[in-house]
Chains A and B, each alone.
Chain A
Amino acid sequence: AQSVTQLGSHVSVSEGALVLLRCNYSSSVPPYLFWYVQYPNQGLQLLLKYTTGATLVKGINGFEAEFKKSETSFHLTKPSAHMSDAAEYFCAVSSGTYKYIFGTGTRLKVLA
């Protein structure tokens, strides 16, 4: 069975500081990994994804994530937070089938 754990339901950073949102997964087969962002009262939007190949994945809005198989992690980072990054972020895993498992989300707050 697959699962996703997002450490920290709420994360606060100062504007300009590093953003680090943690995601650990469990999968018995090579995983497909995703990060989605949800702004208030909106649907989910794909930030980035890992399927195969390069383990450092770059996404939209300056975000990137690194797939680390040995640590079963797929943490999301951004070098410098912007006020517009305030949102909820979801990590998700798929085994390459039609089922996706989502984490419980991390709400990012950016302080001026």
Chain B
Amino acid sequence: NAGVTQTPKFQVLKTGQSMTLQCAQDMNHEYMSWYRQDPGMGLRLIHYSVGAGITDQGEVPNGYNVSRSTTEDFPLRLLSAAPSQTSVYFCASSNPPGTARNEQYFGPGTRLTVT
């Protein structure tokens, strides 16, 4: 199993540009999520999905869009990049909640810089 994969690893954007961060998992997990990590702030949830066709907002959703057309893929779109979106982005997937197998598996991250 490859687990959770993310592309690209690094990206530099200019203000106003758009792009899509890719995330895929091969563990057949229903739940997937996107976090951003900023110094001193831990991980903050951007958007999450509990299955194909179902998405919802997290703590910091503004400026980001998601869709979930398949169980495997959960792309994150930046509509019009801003310097405040400079961050490290992590995708995660998990087993069903409320069970002993409940845990999140994280991808390696995408380091995004917006100039």
Q: Which residues of A contact B42 (CB under 8 A)?
A: 90, 102-105
How far, in angstroms, from A99 to B42 measured CA to CA in the complex?
A: 15
Q: Which residues of A contact B35 (CB under 8 A)?
A: 102
Show the binding face of A for B, using Cβ within 8 Å: 9, 32, 34, 36, 41-46, 49, 51-52, 90, 92, 94, 96-100, 102-105
Question: B43 touching A102 by the CB < 8 A rule?
Answer: yes
Nearest residue, chain B, Cβ from A100: B104
Identify which of B31, B41, B92, B109 contacts A104 (C-beta below 8 A): B41
Question: B103 touching A9 by the CB < 8 A rule?
Answer: no
Q: A42-B109, A43-B109 are in contact. List 6 more A-B contacts (CB 8 A).
A: A44-B43, A44-B106, A92-B104, A97-B97, A97-B98, A98-B50
Is the C-beta of B74 less than 8 angstroms from some C-beta in chain A?
no
Shortest beta-carbon distance from A24 to chain B in Å: 14
How far, in angstroms, from A42 to B9 measured CA to CA in the complex?
A: 11
Q: Which residues of A contact B44 (CB under 8 A)?
A: 102
Q: Which residues of B contact A99 (CB under 8 A)?
A: 45, 48, 58
How far, in angstroms, from A92 to B4 measured CA to CA in the complex?
A: 19
Shortest beta-carbon distance from A74 to chain B in Å: 15
CB-CB contacts of B90-104 with A at 8 A, as 1s and 0s?
101010011110111
Is the C-beta of B40 less than 8 angstroms from some C-beta in chain A?
yes
How far, in angstroms, from A103 to B92 measured CA to CA in the complex?
A: 16
Q: Which residues of A contact B107 (CB under 8 A)?
A: 43
Which 4 A-B pairs have CB atoms at the shortest separation, nearest pair first? A96-B98, A43-B106, A104-B42, A102-B43
Nearest residue, chain B, Cβ from A96: B98
- Near A by CB (< 8 A), chain B positions 39-63 give 40-45, 48, 50, 58
How far, in angstroms, from A52 to B100 measured CA to CA in the complex?
A: 7
Shortest beta-carbon distance from B24 to chain A in Å: 14
Q: Which residues of B contact A34 (CB under 8 A)?
A: 103-104
How far, in angstroms, from A92 to B42 measured CA to CA in the complex?
A: 10
Q: Which residues of A contact B104 (CB under 8 A)?
A: 34, 44, 46, 92, 100
